Amino acid sequence: MKMPKNSKKYRLGVIGGGVMARAIVTGAAGRGLLPPAAVCICEPDAAKRGAFSAEGFCVTTDARSLASDCEFLLFAVKPQTFPEVAAILRGAALPVIVSIMAGKTKGSVRSALGLDEGAKVARVMPNLPCSAGEGMSGVDADGLSEEEKNFVFGLFSAVGRAEEVSERLLDAVTGLSGSGPAYVYLFLDSLVKAGVGQGLTEEQARIFALQTVKGGAAYAEQSGKPFGDLIAAVSSKGGTTLAALSSLEKDDFAGAVSRAVEAAVKRAKEIAE
């Protein structure tokens, strides 16, 4: 993407150089959305700065200067760390803000930074698979111009799929897809342990479990069929799958998943308070 005339020094500034920040900027660079030289990351850890610098990204420890030098400022810090960062930036002239902090509303971000209601803030909830280019991001870019929205959606589409949702639904997105990869990994870990319990080696069980989940998801997406129909397609009357499904139903598997998502959503709302 070409840099607009009379632009600031960087197209994108990033506060925080963790796993998600790395996934986003390397994904954007890899897709040609942004050259590394158009991105600057503010990160206190010297080792992380060195890793970004080695890939051609600008690095700094001066968040306030970075904010004045970029067109978009991505907050990729933990919600608990945000008050400390906000104190450094409060009162500064800030560009368009993009926040991936769980639970932090656009209003709370503006308030912490001393911004008025008209300040442009986009809120995004991505997830860990962004690191593999297969992420899922919920995006609320209401209030941004079309060009600004296109940039935000392009940034997160570079590392997976980005869907527009209203801010009031972002906590639900957090509970479903933001935290969701951990549920998948727990399920995979349980499958592997169950396979080992039935005589497979751990390596064998991992191969079978990973491909089963990967293939199942791919087929569900490709077919577009309701999940109930897909379950029925695997289930023969009196067969092994029905025996397994009966056991899961007895243990209230669906209820356990629902309660887990609800707990994550509740925690997201608590963080916002």
d(CA 211, CA 208): 5
d(CA 262, CA 121): 26
Tens of pLDDT, residue by residue over 72-118, are 999 999 999 999 999 999 988 899 999 999 889 999 999 999 999 98
Predicted confidence at residue 273, as pLDDT, reads: 62
The verdict on 24 and 82 lying in the same domain is yes
* C-beta of residue 33 within 8 angstroms of C-beta of residue 1: yes
Specify if 154 maps to a domain: yes
The verdict on 27 and 82 lying in the same domain is yes
Structure letter (DSSP) for residue 2: P
The verdict on 150 and 186 lying in the same domain is no
The verdict on 261 and 149 lying in the same domain is no
The verdict on 206 and 102 lying in the same domain is no
The verdict on 149 and 216 lying in the same domain is no
Domain with 73 in it: 10-165
Q: What is the CATH number of the domain that holds 136?
A: 3.40.50.720
Specify if 112 maps to a domain: yes
The verdict on 137 and 187 lying in the same domain is no
d(CA 21, CA 130): 10
Angle at 41 between CA 35 and CA 42, to 5 degrees: 165
The verdict on 155 and 23 lying in the same domain is yes
Global pTM value: 0.89
Predicted confidence at residue 4, as pLDDT, reads: 46
The verdict on 23 and 136 lying in the same domain is yes
Q: How far is CA 83 from CA 101, 114, 247, in A?
A: 12, 12, 47
From 131, 165, 199, give the residue that closes a domain: 165
Residue 144: left if φ>0, alpha if ψ -120 to 50, beta else—which one? beta
Specify if 3 maps to a domain: no
Specify if 40 maps to a domain: yes
- How many structural domains comprise the chain? 2
The verdict on 46 and 78 lying in the same domain is yes
Q: What is the CATH number of the domain that holds 213?
A: 1.10.3730.10
- The per-residue DSSP string of the chain comes to -PPPTT--SEEEEEE--SHHHHHHHHHHHHTTSS-GGGEEEE-S-HHHHHHHHHTT-EEES-HHHHHHHEEEEEE-S-TTTHHHHHHHHTTS---EEEE--TT--HHHHHHHHT--TTS-EEEEE--GGGGGT-EEEEEE-TTS-HHHHHHHHHHHHTTEEEEE--GGGHHHHIIIIISHHHHHHHHHHHHHHHHHHTT--HHHHHHHHHHHHHHHHHHHHHH---HHHHHHHH--TTSHHHHHHHHHHHTTHHHHHHHHHHHHHHHHHHHH-
d(CA 168, CA 178): 15
Predicted confidence at residue 253, as pLDDT, reads: 97
From 113, 142, 165, give the residue that closes a domain: 165
Spell out, as residue ranges, where the chain has pLDDT lower than 50.
1-6
Predicted confidence at residue 269, as pLDDT, reads: 87
User: In the block, which residue shows the tokens 């527009």?
Assistant: 164
